[in-house]
Amino acid sequence: MAKEISIKAAGGLRAVLAPCEAESVAVGVFIASGSRHERPCEAGISHFIEHMLFKGTPSRKPIDITRAIEGRGGNFNAMTGEEATCYYAHLPSECLAEAIDILSDMYLNSSIPDDEFEREKSVIIEEIRMYADEPDQVAAENLQKCVFPGSPLGSPVAGTPESLKPLKPEDLRRYIKGHYRADNSVVVIVGAFDEGEAERLLAKSFGPLASRGKAARARFRPSAPDAKRVVPHISEEKEINQAQLALGYRTFGISDPRKYAASVMDAILGRGMMSRLFQEVREKRGLSYDISSRMQFFSDTGMFTVSAGTDPARAAKTLETVEREMKRICEKRPGAAELKRTKEFLTGNFRLSHERVTSKLFFYGQTMLAFGRVIEPAEQVAGIEAVTAADVQAVAKAILRPSMRSVSWVVPKKGGAS
């Protein structure tokens, strides 16, 4: 079982220690700060900071940081989302001290050098342009904008070239001071390690956090999206051959007890080759090569999405088939065999993923930020196993409401790609 500790020397920093049988150890720092916490003039700053923390500290050059992890055969990465940012290292088990030392140095002492700042800004703008060339990414971003209009949840995590260009190094330093705090962060360690050693290393490395007083914490809090408003339709033309569909519904947040039934509904509809959408849209009708669904939860809201690529001439037929399956799951409960198979798929997939230390790392980090306590895998499995056919139908009716539906298309330009 995982053990939650509080590193008092680090001003109340929470930590989760989850030793398990492995040849490696993974260390992650999770911060409850993402694109949703940004003001309009800061759009993209959380993602920008993620990039810049790899650009050196007073005691380490960027190459020193990379060499210390990759030089030992490890993996070193970070990611930014709507409500959180994570930095993590996965290394052989004897390298725990190095992993904690490097991550804490980046977290506490990133120098944001001016020359690296301008260079990385250009890199991120190229990253944004790269995603703008991917129709599925464009369809998904446009859909989120429609599902959460006027909310930071509807804005791209990376920001836009226009929002990034005015940013200065001091903007990033100020944002870090307000958000990268002990009471806003969680450290997770998973794998082969000694708990006592881990506690000592955490207290030593993150100790300086105690000097970041509560008065420095950012006052800005994101507002909830308008509960009654979505944009029903958006379409964009690009030089492509396929039409890309993204269909979405606004739903509830991660603390809602219906989340388990929603996850089962998601799996029945669009997770894997046995799902209804895969069977109906691809296998029976040949309308799409790749179709899937996704349930995404935020702290106080969420989004259920279906995505597919199809021949523009059959786009209407594809959407019609998808919506027929939406209607069917609302009108009729899944049968006992389908429900049993789906729950076995979800719980089996979850258990197998937890054989990887990095999967455990993200599970504990994300659930600690969301719930403020350690969630054991057994609790997750029990929640799925308790779902009934009536629960699935009820949650489908609650989620798949026409008033909360948005459709996003990216289609070929007329007279364009052929």
pLDDT in tens, 116-174: 999 999 999 999 999 999 999 999 999 999 999 989 999 999 999 999 999 999 999 99
Find where tokens 């790749």 sit.
Answer: 290
The pLDDT score that the predictor gives to residue 417 is 47
pLDDT tens for each residue of 173-229: 999 999 999 989 999 999 999 999 999 999 999 987 766 555 444 445 566 676 668
Alpha-carbon dihedral sign for residues 243, 396, 343, 321: negative
Q: At what angle are helices 114-132 and 169-179 packed, to 10 degrees?
A: 80
**Residue-level pLDDT at 229:** 82
CATH architecture of 233-412: 2-Layer Sandwich (3.30)
Which pLDDT score, from 0 to 100, does residue 201 have? Answer: 95
Percent of the residues in the chain that have a pLDDT greater than 70, as a whole number? 94
* 337 half-sphere exposure, CB direction, 13 A CA radius: 1
Helix and strand numbers, DSSP H then E, in the chain: 15, 11
Please give the Cα distance from 257 to 240 (Å, whole number): 41
**Structural domain spans, the chain:** 3-211, 233-412
Q: What is the pTM of this model?
A: 0.93
Q: How far apart are CA 43 and CA 36, in angstroms?
A: 9
DSSP E strand stretches across 239-284: 243-251
Residue tagged active-site, from 42, 50, 82, 325? 50
Instruction: Look at residue 212 and give its three-state secondary structure.
Output: coil
- Please tell me the total number of residues recorded for the chain in this structure: 418
Contacts of 202 (CB under 8 A, 6+ apart): 7, 10, 13, 15, 100, 187
What is the separation, in whole angstroms, between the first and last Cα of the chain? 56
Is there a shared CATH topology between the 3-211 domain and the 233-412 domain? Answer: yes
CATH architecture of the domain 3-211 equals: 2-Layer Sandwich (3.30)
Tell me, yes or no, if 50 is annotated catalytic: yes
Identity of residue 414: K
**Does the pLDDT of residue 47 top 60, yes or no?**
yes
Residue with tokens 């210390």: 68
Q: Which of 224, 164, 217, 143 is nearest to 409 (CA)?
A: 143
pLDDT reported for residue 19: 96
